[in-house]
Structure 1
Amino acid sequence: MNRASQYMRAPARARGRCLAGCIGTDGERTEDAVGEAAGTAADDGRRAARRDEAVRAAVERGLLGPDSPVVGLLDITGIRESAAALRAAFEDVVAPGTPVLHAFAVKASPLVPVLRLLREEGIGAEVASPGELALARAAGLRPEATVLDSPAKTPAELRQALALGIAVNADNPQELARLDALTRSATSRSPLGLRVNPQVGGGSIGATSTSTPTSKFGVALRDPGAREWVVQAYRDRPWLTRLHTHTGSQGVPLSLMARGVAETYALAEEINRAVGRQQIDTLDIGGGLPVNFASDATTPSYAQYARLLAESVPGLFDGRYGLVTEFGRSLLAKHGTIVARVEYAKSAGGRPVAITHAGVQVATRTVYMPGSWPLRIAAYDAKGRPKEGPDVVQDVAGPACFSGDLLAERASLPLLEQGDLAAALDTGAYYFAHHYAYNSLARPGVYGYAAGADGEVAFATVREPQSVEEIVAESGGAHASALTTLTEPGRR
């Protein structure tokens, strides 16, 4: 069978638009991108083959079946390969001896075993809440390999970060004033910086574009007086040694990402000239490399982006500045799969509908914003084998009680029947790791897989499936009578 026929094809209304998988300027693939994709085709094919083997093995081992109708699977080999590709891409362009920290955006997959795996691969952590910091620490991330961002840091969060020696990027003037007070009252080894918004524009998905004129993040550089304020802020604070930006995530073309970095680099040069020394010694350029959700191809690549930065901002890599990156989705997305059992197969209005156990609870963005976050669906039979047969236009629905709970509408793939399996591809980041408890649906189990010593698929538990008892406990089960025992005026 032609593997391509196994997967859903994008509906006609989505073709030609710059959606979640856009790359290059205006969504066009550059010559470098095409060549890069061709060069990695073998790796992409091996990843697809590993996925097929993992689905089959998950059924055989009982991880997936009538009593466990949905799971998340993570390709450990693929994650290691992505981490290595990221490191190599920037090693190829920076001057020898340049300090570089690749900090994984924990929000993309807040799972402790994933963070520990990435730590083993030389990747740090970018955190944006007390919870994410706790997860990073539980995974063994060192303070010097951790960066705290967030537009809403409390005094307690800042105090903890400074005590631990974690790098902090202040978001705004009021937060910087808090840091003024905290640094006066206690010494800290934390590198401190300021996040700026170069206001270079947005991509095809407004919700993930962070460099728009009215973005909530950072100091808006083109607002009247803002640039001058930033320069003076560094003049007044010799301890402010970093500058941070993040242009956006999915839907933002590489050219716009590079432009945001270039604007921030130019500001760093301006500040250092103004203070008469190399006060800013590190540039945090954020992450945001978009992921191709349209096929198995890994494109754009870290190497493409690093080369583009070297060409458009050559001074960035000449050794005068340390570098921090904050990639998330691009490290994990291609290496995760949601697999769900088809509980029922029916027809409505002449269209087949597969009712599965994966929907809004594991694919929230796709269900609520299908135009921006379309997913490919792969069909497997009840034994976990890629399903044969002609493509049939059908809907793939989830279990939640509202009509829009659809993983895919008008998907073209082999007909899904009762007991078959539907796999949502490229869901290793921001999907099953971010459970949405609609209808009190349980969090699915998450399992990593790799080839064992005997060549068979080996699994490791990343997160246990949630039990009904845990759902009750998290929903106030221990306080069942709390409201009925409140005393109301005039009522006994």
Structure 2
Amino acid sequence: MTSGPASRQRGDRRTAALARAVADGLLGPHSPVVGLLDVDGVLAAVEALDEAFAGPAPVQHTFAAKACGLVPVLRLLADAGMGCEVASPGELEQALAAGFPYDRLVFDSPAKTVGELEFALAHGIAINLDNFQELARVDRLLAGREAAGPIGIRVNPQVGAGTIGAMSTATATSKFGVALRDPGAEDAVTEAFERRPWLNRLHAHVGSQGCPLPLVAEGIRAAYELAERINDRLGHARITGIDIGGGLPVNFTDEEDRPTYAAYVAALRAAVPGLFDGRYTLVTEFGRSLLAKSGTIGTVVEYTKSAGGRRIAVTHAGAQVATRTVFMPGSWPLRAEVFDAAGRPKQGPAQVVDIAGPCCFAGDLTATGVRLPAIEPGDVVALHDTGAYYFSSHFSYNSLPRPAVYGYRTDADGRVRFAPVREAQSVREVVEESGLAQAESLVELRRT
């Protein structure tokens, strides 16, 4: 497929940033793996999202913090007008540290504690309740008081799975939400709204990567139709907002943004036209699609070898930064590109090669059987489309330290400016994190 102007510009910015990272020593022998994030690419994605949803319906776009829980990245998104969806106390504190106001937060989790619910209720944070036990818990916490912020019930429309089961949240037995097709479930949800004036939202999220747009639209239509039935039964607009989740898939096969937010909204308008007429406030929770295409992992090639006739390039980026790709390569393939030791794209005849990481198990491969120009020790391998869930969600296998992360902007003349997002973790910090301060505790326990 031929790349469009925007994707070509993104590729040019990335190439310039990798060369500059090598020149500045951000990537090299002493820092053999780094995460790079294209700030302009992220902002362009936010703009595309806003444009796609423009219309009479009020919309609050929230970023799913799980996709990249790095405070400077969250701060950038807050400054761009986004809200933030959080699913743990850690994500909540990261979002607050990044400057999101309480009224732009949405708290989703199937395991909220009493303390977490109390905090959200006290500060007017929007909450999506996962089940009827949680609903009863909020009854007790409110004790007849008005809720300070929106409260909704998450429903599972049970419309089925996409191509990745682990990413599909609207299956018949999903752990999330109230399963609408189970006997009596819809009546129970309706009764919950009848009895509680403070309930005013429905939430449905069909899944993310691997879920096609028609499946997503079918799930959102089920939530919308339920909201219509409940409001009709109550005789007024009790449900004023519908949280439609996120889940736009990302194209990992080439540079193009596919599907687009415009295509997503077109699918929704065709399946659920009333969703956009302005009667409901819409909430979205996109994550991966906002950041993935703007992220790159750069890593130095330490050694090259062959085994069974297959060339292998051993790098410093493996399962610790590309966990999903290593363990589910068929579902999470990454594009790889090779640069020379000066950070220039390599040319020459393609060879078939496996790109291996540093982790001590055979499956630690970020790309298998890819065709690239000949790779040599000291070269740089770039793993593209890694801005979400990769360098931000570290897997501490083999006690490998977390890499540094930098954001960058590139001007029209190709000049690159970097801003630190996260410092590289030192080996000393790895040791301290592993219990150094308690080094003698078990020996002392043995002796007493």
SS of match in other structure, 1:483: helix
Counterpart amino acid of 1:298?
Answer: D
Q: Distance in 2 between matches of 1:369 and 1:52?
A: 27
Structure 1 residue 371 displacement after superposition: 1.0
Structure 1 residue 309 displacement after superposition: 1.0
Structure 1 residue 454 displacement after superposition: 7.3
User: In the alignment, is residue 434 of structure 1 matched against residue 393 of structure 2?
Assistant: yes
Partners of 2:22 and 2:343 within 8 A in 1:
yes
Q: Deviations over 1:252-274 (max 9, x none)?
A: 00010011011110000011011
Mapping of residues 334-373 of structure 1, within 5 Å: 334-373=293-332
User: In the alignment, is residue 142 of structure 1 matched against residue 90 of structure 2?
Assistant: no
Of the candidates 156, 168, 178, which is equivalent to residue 197 of structure 1?
156
Q: Distance in 2 between matches of 1:118 and 1:413?
A: 35
Partners of 2:66 and 2:86 within 8 A in 1:
yes
Sort the Cα spacing of 1:454 and 1:43 in 2 relative to 1 into closer, same or farther, 3 A. closer
Q: Deviations over 1:303-350 (max 9, x none)?
A: 111122112111101111000000000000000000100000111111
Map of 1:51 onto structure 2: 14
Name the Cα RMSD after superposition: 1.3
Counterpart amino acid of 1:304?
Answer: A
TM-score by length of 2: 0.98
Map of 2:402 onto structure 1: 443
Partners of 2:146 and 2:198 within 8 A in 1:
no
User: In the alignment, is residue 320 of structure 1 matched against residue 283 of structure 2?
Assistant: no
Q: Distance in 2 between matches of 1:453 and 1:425?
A: 22
TM-score by length of 1: 0.89
Q: Distance in 2 between matches of 1:183 and 1:276?
A: 25
Q: Distance in 1 between matches of 2:89 and 2:118?
A: 12
Q: Distance in 1 between matches of 2:165 and 2:440?
A: 44
Map of 1:399 onto structure 2: 358
Map of 1:167 onto structure 2: 126
Map of 1:81 onto structure 2: 44
Q: Distance in 1 between matches of 2:133 and 2:444?
A: 43
Q: Deviations over 1:415-443 (max 9, x none)?
A: 21100011111000010100001100000
SS of match in other structure, 1:215: coil
Q: Distance in 1 between matches of 2:70 and 2:5?
A: 29
Segments of 5+ residues of structure 2 without an aligned counterpart are none
Map of 2:383 onto structure 1: 424
Q: Distance in 2 between matches of 1:62 and 1:394?
A: 27
SS of match in other structure, 2:445: coil
Of the candidates 251, 270, 286, which is equivalent to residue 292 of structure 1?
251
Mapping of residues 90-109 of structure 1, within 5 Å: 90-91=53-54, 94-95=55-56, 98-109=57-68
Map of 1:22 onto structure 2: none
Map of 1:239 onto structure 2: 198
Q: Distance in 1 between matches of 2:433 and 2:411?
A: 36
Q: Distance in 2 between matches of 1:306 and 1:188?
A: 31
Map of 1:132 onto structure 2: 91
Mapping of residues 472-487 of structure 1, within 5 Å: 472-487=431-446
Structure 1 residue 453 displacement after superposition: 9.1
Structure 1 residue 186 displacement after superposition: 5.1
Paired residue total: 448
Q: Deviations over 1:381-430 (max 9, x none)?
A: 11111110111111100001111100011111112110001111100001
Structure 1 residue 486 displacement after superposition: 1.0
Counterpart amino acid of 2:6?
Answer: D
Ranges of 4+ aligned residues in structure 1 off by more than 3 Å: 185-188, 452-455
SS of match in other structure, 2:76: helix
Map of 2:220 onto structure 1: 261
Map of 1:20 onto structure 2: none
Map of 2:264 onto structure 1: 305
Counterpart amino acid of 1:47?
Answer: R
Q: Distance in 2 between matches of 1:105 and 1:469?
A: 32
Q: Between 65-74 and 188-197, report the one with greater CA deviation.
A: 188-197
